[in-house]
């Protein structure tokens, strides 16, 4: 037995037995809830009010222990296991993404601020919210003052910007947040990229007072610092936000908003799991494991910048260097494929 680390929407540490033949870890049934959030009951695998029947107990039970991979498969949550590193990453429920994309229910999340104080989406219930994702490995880190200006302008009218850095640590983010008063969180395990189908930054999603998605995830900028590079300016999108906050006007109706953004593919979900293992290995100083999983993640999701570009600093590559620029040009040549709506170019759709 050895201690293993399991990454879902949190990080858990439990004792497990490696089973190389099955490529998985075996855990005591009593530890299953801590490991995956599920419990084995006579009715099946249960979590809160949900129970999944298990027709073949021999498929998940081995020598009195539970096969983590088999359990994850039974509840339809993809899993990646690294036996040598003692690391396991398990996907979140695909139902959360479906509800976001099709039903427009904003998935809840809990993430730390730069002082490692946790905050949940529900904390801002009753306000209109602009969820802005950025990163230290993206030039959009310099957009934060622009988002702060919008936050200050509209805060008296029941609005807040919530900036979330898709980054490893608070120290990665802190150099770019001087003077900011809007909420700034960071997402060390890239949970939002899975929950909201984010594949590039900067992106924003509009969330209303009832935590419903008013406008799905889309590319947007807080300033025009990189307008020549991106071909997009910030003012049209900001004007739409003002009209939404002040007059309740939306640039698209609910029918248009539903499924406006495509779901992640199976490979893209697996890429995120490999990235989580790479990120945890990097925190431990395990360069070999980090590199293996960064490269595998990039193979699975070659058009996802939150995977391959985010992985560059982890393996000693410059996310602003020529290697990035070459790959970015290739991505642009493909039409800039991303799980988001394109930048707003004008406001004439709003009346």
pTM score of the predicted model: 0.94
The pair of three-digit structure tokens given for residue 298, joined into one six-digit string: 């990039």
Distance CA 220, CA 237 (A): 7
The answer to whether the peptide bond before residue 202 is cis (omega within 30 degrees of 0) is: yes
CB 10 within 8 A of CB 276: no
What pLDDT shows up at residue 346?
A: 77
CB 298 within 8 A of CB 289: no
Contacts of residue 86, Cβ cutoff 8 Å, sequence gap at least 6: 2, 3, 4, 5, 16
What are residue 29's DSSP bridge partners? none
Q: What percent of the chain is modeled with pLDDT above 70?
A: 99
Q: What is the pLDDT of residues 302-311, one digit of tens each?
A: 999 999 999 9
What pLDDT shows up at residue 345?
A: 83
Q: What is the pLDDT of residues 155-194, one digit of tens each?
A: 999 999 999 999 999 999 999 999 999 999 999 999 999 9
Q: What is the pLDDT of residues 251-291, one digit of tens each?
A: 999 999 999 999 999 999 999 999 999 999 999 999 999 99
Q: Could you give phi then psi for residue 15, rounded to 5 degrees?
A: -85, 135
In this structure, the dihedral spanned by the alpha carbons of residues 208, 209, 211 and 214, taken in order and rounded to 10 degrees, is -10
Q: Is the pLDDT of residue 349 over 80?
A: no
In this structure, the strands spanning 2-7 and 87-90 are parallel
What pLDDT shows up at residue 228?
A: 86
User: HSE (CB half, 13 Å, CA atoms) of 177?
Assistant: 21
Question: Length of the chain, please?
Answer: 351
What are residue 19's DSSP bridge partners? 24
The pair of three-digit structure tokens given for residue 195, joined into one six-digit string: 């929950």
What are the Cα distances from residue 272, in Å, to 121, 187, 251?
22, 13, 31
Distance CA 91, CA 84 (A): 20
Q: Is the pLDDT of residue 351 over 70?
A: no
What pLDDT shows up at residue 348?
A: 55
DSSP string, 128-162: EEEEEEE-TTSGGGGGHHHHHHHHHHHGGGTEEEE
> DSSP H helical segments within the chain, as ranges?
32-36, 68-74, 94-98, 144-154, 170-173, 191-195, 227-230, 235-247, 254-257, 266-284, 287-300, 305-311, 322-333
C-alpha radius of gyration, the chain, whole number: 21
Distance CA 316, CA 266 (A): 28
DSSP H or E run through 305: helix 305-311
Q: Could you give phi then psi for residue 329, rounded to 5 degrees?
A: -60, -40
Distance CA 324, CA 326 (A): 5
- The angle subtended at Cα 146 by Cα 140 and Cα 147, nearest 5°, is 85
| pLDDT tier, 29 (very low <50, low <70, confident <90, very high otherwise) | very high
Distance CA 39, CA 49 (A): 11
Ranges 49-58, 113-122, 276-285: which has the least confidence? 49-58
């Amino acid at each position: 037995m050895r201690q293993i680390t399991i990454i879902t929407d949190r990080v858990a540490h439990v004792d497990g037995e490696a089973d190389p033949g099955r490529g998985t870890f075996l855990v005591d049934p009593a530890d299953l809830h801590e490991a995956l959030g599920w419990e084995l009951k006579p009715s099946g695998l249960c979590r809160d009010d949900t129970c999944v029947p298990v027709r073949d107990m021999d498929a998940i039970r081995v020598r009195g222990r539970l096969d983590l991979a088999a359990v994850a498969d039974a509840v339809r949550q993809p899993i990646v296991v690294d036996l040598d590193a003692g690391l396991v990453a398990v996907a979140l429920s695909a139902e959360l993404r479906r509800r976001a994309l099709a039903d427009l229910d904003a998935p809840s999340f809990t993430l730390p601020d730069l002082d490692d104080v946790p905050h949940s989406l529900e904390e801002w219930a009753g306000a209109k919210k602009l969820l802005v994702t950025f990163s230290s490995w993206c030039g959009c880190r310099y957009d934060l003052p622009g988002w702060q200006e919008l936050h200050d302008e509209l805060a008296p009218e029941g609005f807040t910007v919530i900036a979330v850095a898709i980054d490893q640590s608070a120290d990665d983010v802190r150099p770019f947040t001087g003077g900011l008063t809007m909420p700034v969180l960071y997402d060390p395990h890239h949970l939002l990229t899975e929950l909201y189908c984010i594949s590039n930054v900067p992106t924003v999603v509009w969330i209303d007072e009832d935590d419903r998605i008013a406008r799905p995830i889309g590319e947007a900028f807080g300033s025009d610092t990189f307008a020549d590079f991106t071909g997009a300016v910030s003012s049209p999108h900001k004007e739409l936000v003002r009209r939404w906050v002040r007059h309740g006007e939306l640039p698209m109706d609910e029918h248009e908003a539903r499924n406006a953004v495509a779901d992640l593919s199976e490979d893209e979900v697996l890429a995120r799991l490999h990235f989580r293992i790479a990120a945890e290995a990097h925190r431990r100083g395990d360069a070999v494991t980090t590199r293996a999983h960064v490269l595998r993640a990039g193979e699975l999701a070659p058009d996802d910048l939150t995977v391959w570009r985010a992985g560059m600093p982890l393996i000693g590559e410059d996310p602003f260097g020529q290697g990035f620029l070459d790959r970015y040009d290739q991505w642009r040549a493909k039409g800039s494929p991303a799980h988001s709506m394109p930048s707003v170019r004008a406001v004439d759709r709003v009346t």
